[in-house]
Amino acid sequence: MVSVETSEAFAAGRLGPITGVQLHSIRAEAQADLAGALRALAGFGYRRTEITGYLGRTPQQIRAMHDAAGLSCVSAHVRLEPGTREEPGLRGDLSRLAEHMHVLGARHVVVPAFPVPDDVAVRREEGEALGDFFARVSSALTEDHWRRRADELNTVGGRLAAYGLRIGFHNHAFEFDLIERRSGVDLLLAETDPDCVVFQLDAGWASYAGFDPATLLRVHPKRFRLLHLKDIKPLTDNPEPRSTEVGCGTLDWRDILAAADEAGVEEAFVEQEPPFERPPLEAMAISAANLRALGW
């Protein structure tokens, strides 16, 4: 098994200065004017990004715009599907995908969510809340489903490691639901190869599931190498979690950020999901200011 070299940030034990943005947070702005959006993020103090899709550009164009803005694209969310020649998926042409990642400068290839298994007859209904859909999927999954997912992460991760890349998995809330005695996250952590499979802790979703992100990081050192800095508003009668600017919600960021440095997190990305109360780029500026106030 090929082990991927750790980042300079992890080796130095200083995560803060490289805090980035998951571009899904500003998807409409990035699709309309990626170069301008990246310049704005750089002006707020961000230095790195994580992409979800190519936003209608080629990897070469994305890289050139990042270079011009003084930013680095270090991670990409890529689905477990065949994809296309223009945007290969993790069940497609991995050599071409690896070529694209090297053009971008990305070292991590993260599964944003597992597809519903073929033998699980659950499909999202029109107008169904995402949380309700995930709950129905979760109730239909068995430990065997999660073991198969772990096997696929190991297999694809081993192939990507040969290209100097690492596969990762990003959680929502339902992966923390118990299946018999363990959760899906527990099974994945236990049955994946740490040399080539990493985890991206979405702090907001973990908190919504009832788990303290800082504790998860400390209990599983060096497994959660990536972090989504997502804050959550206080829950109301609406069962769906609502994200907000980092530092404006319910999460204890001082403890989470300390735990991230202790546990070996290498990359951290602010992520906020709609609905927004203000323009998304303005929200990213507020998150950056609040992180700086915490010493990041």
In DSSP terms, 51 is beta-bridged to 76
Residue 296 lies in a domain: no
Would you state the pLDDT for residue 9?
Answer: 39
How many whole angstroms separate alpha carbon 192 and alpha carbon 250? 32
State the pTM of this model. 0.92
- pLDDT for res 36: 98
From residue 49, give the alpha-carbon distance in Å to each of 39, 54, 87, 107, 295.
Answer: 12, 13, 18, 12, 20
Residue 3 inside a domain? The answer is: no
**pLDDT at residue 148 above 60?**
yes
Rounded Cα distance, 260 and 254, in Å: 10
Q: Which CATH number fits the domain that encloses residue 96?
A: 3.20.20.150
Residue 104 located in a structural domain: yes
**Strand 231-232 and strand 243-244: pairing?**
antiparallel
The pLDDT-based confidence of 239 (bands split at 50, 70, 90) is: low
| pLDDT tens per residue, range 21-70 | 999 999 999 999 999 999 999 999 999 999 999 999 999 999 999 999 99
**pLDDT confidence band for 13 (50 / 70 / 90):** very low
Residue type, 187: L
What is the rounded CA–CA span in Å between residue 216 and residue 242? 21
pLDDT at 11: 34
Q: How far apart are the C-alpha atoms of 221 and 143, rounded to whole Å?
A: 24
Mean pLDDT score, 263-270: 96
Domain that holds residue 139: 8-291
pLDDT in tens, 198-225: 999 999 999 999 999 999 999 999 999 9
Handedness of CA 267, 270, 201, 291 (dihedral sign): positive
Residue 22 inside a domain? The answer is yes
Domain count, the chain: 1
The DSSP secondary-structure symbol of 26 reads G
Residue 135, pLDDT score: 81
Q: 230 in a domain, yes or no?
A: yes
Is 2 within a domain?
no
Q: Between residues 140 and 130, which one has the greater pLDDT?
A: 140
158-169 pLDDT, tens digit each: 999 999 999 999
Mean pLDDT of 171-186: 93
Q: If you ran DSSP here, which 8-state letter would residue 88 be given?
A: B
Give pLDDT, residue 133. Answer: 85
Q: What is the pLDDT of residue 4?
A: 38
User: Residue 281 corresponds to which tokens in the numbers above?
Assistant: 């780029």
Query: DSSP label at 257?
Result: H
Closest C-alpha to 65, from 33, 111, 18, 97? 33
Residue 1 lies in a domain: no
Q: Cite the DSSP H helix spans in 15-111.
A: 27-32, 34-44, 59-69, 94-104
Kindly state whether residue 242 falls inside one of the protein's structural domains. Answer: yes
Sign of the C-alpha dihedral computed for residues 131, 178, 175 and 137 taken in this order: negative
Q: What is the enclosing helix (H) or strand (E) of 130?
A: helix 130-140
Strands 182-183 and 178-179: antiparallel
* Average per-residue pLDDT for the chain: 92
Count of Cβ atoms closer than 10 Å to residue 214 Cβ: 22
* pLDDT score, position 16: 57
Residue 2: predicted pLDDT: 34
Q: Which long-range contacts (CB under 8 A, 24 or more apart) does 154-157 make?
A: 154/191, 154/192, 154/193, 154/196, 154/197, 156/80, 156/90, 156/91, 156/94, 157/192, 157/193, 157/196, 157/197
Residue 271 has pLDDT above 60, yes or no: yes
